[in-house]
Structure 1
């Protein structure tokens, strides 16, 4: 979720509830140990115990193909107070893969093992080291080899996106393939991919044999999805947020970004979020069209204010009824 789920989005989503843990956008690791300012920029929660305002822990995600620099940067993260280190072997982006990062490393299970092992040794035993992978790069032939390699290297948990890199994000997600990993590992497994609704989560749990789930695009498209999923797993039912409930969140999100970024860039995260929200809310597509070419915060505020006024009128009508 590079470029989308930054600290402002993490704060908003965790405040809504249902999320047990967040992972940062990936920190690209090359040859050097990065200065603290890089980690603070991508994970400002490090200044508050590595947690969002709602108290949700935030693991720092590292992406790279060389074991020694990955280990050294993991150690730096631990020194800065990261509650956990997450290693990204799942990114399917071609630019990332061409730079020896993400899912391309899954072609070499021994290299995956070496990176995980050195990171594990570099950080205190009390700091979890979690890993995310896909089912493979071109195909699934090395899937179980990678699971074994990661397990033997000492990873704490393994999140599995139920597609190969070549599958991209095309439906379906092959949740039943994740269940095969149970044959070769006993570490906790987390299933990921194509979870858009609470029923998807229940189906994924059954097919993958995973209790725990990782949400990405689904949580951006439906911000209350985490708490809806938790309720469904517990056999309960919650009222889903409607568009008029989303509008105040958009305003809050925009205002936080105005305080965090240069004004001419502050609307970009809002536009990105609307692009996801329109998967669930048709009104998001209309709002996106209304602001997509705007950069002036005052003009965008006026359009959002119109949405808020419509919400207020609807509330008044409901009360009168």
Structure 2
């Protein structure tokens, strides 16, 4: 399956924030059942301005502010979905999503199965996640592993403006609940992971030219960022850019796979790459223990064991609460990734 471009129109250079806003605009224009809701998403346009201008264009009945109650936001969205709407609730930061876990896990994820298909929850929960902006413990967490564990929920994490718009449209059109985590560190441009290096602008980046109309990227389809023969690096979100920068600086012939969606997972692309290279490195920002990298490691081990030339390695966040003052030591950066690549290639 390839990326599907529907009603192709002119392209425009966009940041990830602009691409997300464009996706919401396109879907609200096409489907009157699409509803945007959350804390400060209306008049204010969201804390990161992802919903800027939408209330003015579509009115307060379709883009509205909610009280500060994440459980209530998601509970209302589940009811809207069962009624026939396609809500897109925003949780202002991923760290705030925990009060809504009961609604997501016990209601949204199980509704289709529990009702034998009579009711569904076609909702897309958007939320900025990850660190790199000195947000501290309550604005920097990466809880994707919690949701990949729950049957019935899809988990999507884009790494470029082009992917952000196409994946968000696909998620909104999907009839199952989706968690759409947005790496806020790269909202306005990619960066290489160094503490003293600001994020570059998306200007001129190959994936910043985004169709202005409707297109979708199928959920469950990974992207090969660059082909290579020496080793496979599996990553997603912000880490795609950090890994790409390290591989380029080292001159390593690495094949970098951007997973794009964790559930559903493109295991065929992973297996094909690792069977070719014989080596695998997994990089993600979340805590190491029970992080999604552990699942990736198990799948590669099960499917590619006889093709491996070295042990599978992981570079992740540490098993500690997210540190504020030591954020950049926690953040998987170029030094740790470079060391892991060197060790794998020596084995």
TM-score bucket of the superposed structures, by smaller chain? 0.3 to 0.5
TM-score by length of 1: 0.32
* CA radius of gyration, larger in: 1
Task: Considering fraction of residues, name the structure with more helix.
Answer: 1
RCO comparison, higher one (Cα < 8 Å, 6+) = 2
